[in-house]
């Protein structure tokens, strides 16, 4: 098994509400820069209100290192305290990291991106998504030259637990003239999706919370959502010899459907009998869920819950001496949650979407960029937004500043086949990865566990899926289930 420091970040969903939540284990910060390079501001505050082309081969594959903004790799490296300098010449998802940092032209017309994200709502606030996207934008503008010298500007709008507010934010993005949205988390996305679809405004990345966005033709997620996470957990349970499982989730139509209509067929194809349990969206008491699992004597318990539900699940499993292997989404693997749970977290298996490699280069770049450029919370769920921004940035670079539009971005994304992703599995956005959920471009998952001792290593589980490099190919699981 491979391990790494517990200085890592979780991919969070919603408090006690489960859509898709996975965790990226961040590398230790050896080699991360500590000096501050010149920072280019990249955020528009006016949108953050509560009110409110393809390659010649048609695959959307990444070009050469010269395509990395306006930065180039043919100059001698100069130690300017930048992240680029620390990783110069190494290969990443966009080719070769250039030798020197190059800033975007502050006088050039900015390329504006929107972002819908739920914030300022008790129990359902995820400012780290926006914070990570903003840190990524500042990194790109300060060190990678923006897009052909043009800086990237993020226009945020805060959603709530109201579909009407999500609709208002989507309308604001149309009025602001943004060319695309960086995905955040919009729990009531059913309000926004019709507006975005009617105006052909694409969204790249983010946390897929509801079916309307996962079924949308203008959304492109580098994620498997809840469907991907549960399929991966069932695959692991099958390898461990499980023949029975219980799936528990918040009692909402999309979450019930994800469990019964998607995870259920996967379980059946693997020969696992499943029972289903639901709990309230807010204020959930996990004791009935754990008691039901004990009474049913199942081999595996999959609980789609996050935030305040995580520690009680871990502690109750100990107190009730639950026999079943527990699987939780990566939202429950946040540092503060594991610290609070202590030994009760030992043996819990979490889903993730980062590479099952503690030495992954792009994980180190994320870590360094957040340390240098974040002005607020940017970890935890921020891993998802950072990945989404960087993947969108690569698309903008390849299109070129003069060819960027909502239409060209959408066309490009639909053409992608096995396109490299920042700190994630390669993605294909042909709409066929998971039947019925065309917006899921990279449903592959990784799994990891922890010793339950704060400060000690977390452990990936690649040996269980050695033939696929540690990734669980959930699209294959769904293909078999629906064949």
pLDDT at 60 over 50: no
- The answer to whether 15 touches 306, Cβ cutoff 8 Å, is yes
- Mean pLDDT, range 414-434, rounded to an integer: 97
Q: What does the alpha-carbon distance between residue 96 and residue 208 come to, in Å, rounded to a whole number?
A: 31
Percent above pLDDT 90 for the chain = 66
Q: What does the alpha-carbon distance between residue 222 and residue 207 come to, in Å, rounded to a whole number?
A: 9
DSSP string, 377-396: --STTHHHHHHHHHHHHHHH
Confidence at 61, pLDDT banded by 50, 70, 90:
very low
- The answer to whether 364 touches 396, Cβ cutoff 8 Å, is no
pLDDT digits (tens, 9 = 90+) for 210-244: 899 999 999 999 999 889 999 999 999 999 999 99
Q: What does the alpha-carbon distance between residue 392 and residue 409 come to, in Å, rounded to a whole number?
A: 9
| pLDDT for residue 358 | 76
- Which residues, including other chains, have CB under 8 Å from residue 107's CB and lie 6 or more apart? none
| pLDDT for residue 43 | 57
* Two tokens, residue 406: 């909502």
Give the lowest-confidence range in 21-25, 89-93, 370-374: 21-25
Q: What angle do CA 400, 215, 271 make, to 5 degrees?
A: 120
- The answer to whether 421 touches 205, Cβ cutoff 8 Å, is no
Sign of the dihedral through C-alpha 395, 397, 398, 403: positive
pTM for the model stands at 0.83
One fold for 31-224+360-421 and 226-352+445-481: yes
| pLDDT for residue 317 | 95
Q: What does the alpha-carbon distance between residue 192 and residue 178 come to, in Å, rounded to a whole number?
A: 15
| pLDDT for residue 42 | 54
Q: What does the alpha-carbon distance between residue 433 and residue 446 come to, in Å, rounded to a whole number?
A: 17
- The answer to whether 234 touches 266, Cβ cutoff 8 Å, is yes
Per DSSP, the three-state class of 121 is coil
95 in the Ramachandran plot: left (φ > 0), alpha (ψ -120 to 50) or beta? Answer: left
pLDDT at 101 over 60: yes
* Two tokens, residue 142: 């300060």
| pLDDT for residue 348 | 94
- Which residues, including other chains, have CB under 8 Å from residue 319's CB and lie 6 or more apart? none
Q: What angle do CA 199, 204, 210 make, to 5 degrees?
A: 80
| pLDDT for residue 50 | 42
Architecture of the structural domain at 31-224+360-421: 3-Layer(aba) Sandwich (3.40)
pLDDT digits (tens, 9 = 90+) for 450-481: 876 665 666 778 777 888 888 999 999 999 99
- The answer to whether 461 touches 445, Cβ cutoff 8 Å, is no
Residue 66: burial class (beta carbons within 10 Å; 0-12, 13-18, 19+): middle
Task: Select the highest-mean-pLDDT range: 276-290, 333-347, 389-403.
Answer: 389-403
pLDDT at 179 over 50: yes
DSSP 8-class letter at 307: G
Residue-range domain boundaries for the chain: 31-224+360-421, 226-352+445-481
- Mean pLDDT, range 281-303, rounded to an integer: 92
- Taking Cα atoms as reference points, which of 158, 201, 159 lies closest to residue 178? 201
Q: What does the alpha-carbon distance between residue 439 and residue 431 come to, in Å, rounded to a whole number?
A: 6
* Two tokens, residue 110: 């900015």
The residues pairing with 258 across neighbouring beta strands, listed in sequence order, are none
- The answer to whether 442 touches 432, Cβ cutoff 8 Å, is no
| pLDDT for residue 63 | 38
Sign of the dihedral through C-alpha 285, 290, 293, 298: positive
Per DSSP, the three-state class of 49 is coil
Cα dihedral 136→141→143→145 (10° resolution): 130
- The answer to whether 278 touches 303, Cβ cutoff 8 Å, is no
- The answer to whether 211 touches 196, Cβ cutoff 8 Å, is no
The residues pairing with 300 across neighbouring beta strands, listed in sequence order, are 245, 325
Q: What does the alpha-carbon distance between residue 89 and residue 99 come to, in Å, rounded to a whole number?
A: 6
Instruction: Name the class of domain 226-352+445-481.
Output: alpha beta
Provide the mean pLDDT of the chain: 85
Q: What does the alpha-carbon distance between residue 408 and residue 50 come to, in Å, rounded to a whole number?
A: 30
- Mean pLDDT, range 29-49, rounded to an integer: 44
Half-sphere exposure of 78 (CA within 13 A, CB side): 9
pLDDT digits (tens, 9 = 90+) for 122-155: 767 889 999 999 999 999 999 999 999 999 999 9
């Amino acid at each position: 098994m491979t391990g790494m420091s517990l200085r890592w970040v979780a991919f969070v969903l919603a408090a006690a509400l489960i859509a898709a939540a996975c965790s990226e284990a961040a590398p230790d910060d050896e080699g991360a820069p500590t000096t501050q390079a010149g920072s280019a501001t990249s955020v528009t505050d006016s949108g953050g209100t509560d009110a409110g082309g393809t390659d010649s081969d048609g695959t959307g594959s990444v070009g050469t290192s010269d395509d990395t903004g306006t930065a180039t790799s043919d100059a001698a490296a100069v130690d300017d305290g930048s992240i680029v300098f620390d990783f110069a010449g190494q290969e990443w998802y966009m080719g070769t990291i250039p030798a020197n940092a190059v800033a975007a032209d502050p006088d050039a017309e900015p390329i504006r991106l929107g972002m819908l994200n739920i914030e300022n709502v008790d129990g359902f606030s995820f400012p780290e998504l926006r914070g990570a996207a903003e840190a990524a934008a500042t990194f790109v503008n300060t060190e990678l030259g923006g897009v052909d010298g043009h800086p990237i500007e993020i226009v945020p709008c805060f959603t709530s637990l109201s579909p009407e507010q999500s609709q208002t934010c989507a309308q604001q993005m149309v009025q602001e003239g943004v060319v695309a949205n960086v995905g955040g988390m919009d729990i009531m996305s059913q309000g926004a999706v019709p507006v975005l679809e009617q105006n052909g405004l694409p969204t790249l990345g983010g946390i897929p919370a509801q079916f309307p966005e996962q079924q949308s033709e203008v959304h492109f997620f580098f994620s498997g959502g809840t469907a991907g996470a549960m399929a991966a957990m069932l695959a692991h349970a099958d390898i461990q010899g499980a023949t029975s499982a219980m799936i528990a989730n918040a009692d909402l139509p999309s979450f019930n459907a994800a469990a019964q209509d998607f995870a259920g067929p996967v379980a059946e194809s693997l020969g696992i009998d499943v029972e289903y349990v639901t709990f309230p969206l807010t204020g959930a008491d996990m004791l009935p869920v754990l008691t039901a699992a004990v009474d049913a004597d199942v081999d595996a318990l999959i609980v789609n819950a996050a935030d305040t539900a995580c520690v009680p699940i871990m502690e109750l499993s100990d107190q009730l001496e639950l026999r079943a292997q527990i699987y939780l989404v990566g939202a429950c693997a946040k540092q503060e949650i594991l610290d609070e749970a202590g030994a009760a977290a030992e043996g819990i298996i979490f889903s993730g979407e980062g590479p099952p490699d503690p030495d992954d280069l792009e994980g180190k770049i994320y870590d360094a960029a957040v340390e240098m450029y974040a002005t607020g919370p940017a970890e935890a769920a921020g891993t998802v937004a950072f990945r989404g921004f960087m993947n969108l940035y690569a698309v903008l670079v390849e299109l070129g500043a003069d060819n960027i539009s909502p239409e060209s971005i959408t066309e490009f994304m639909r053409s992608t086949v096995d396109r490299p992703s920042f700190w994630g599995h390669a993605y294909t956005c042909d709409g066929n990865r998971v039947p019925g959920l065309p917006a899921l471009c990279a449903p592959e998952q990784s799994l990891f566990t922890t010793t339950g001792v704060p400060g000690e290593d977390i452990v990936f589980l690649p040996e269980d899926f050695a033939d696929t490099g540690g990734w669980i190919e959930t699209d294959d699981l769904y293909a078999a289930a629906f064949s």
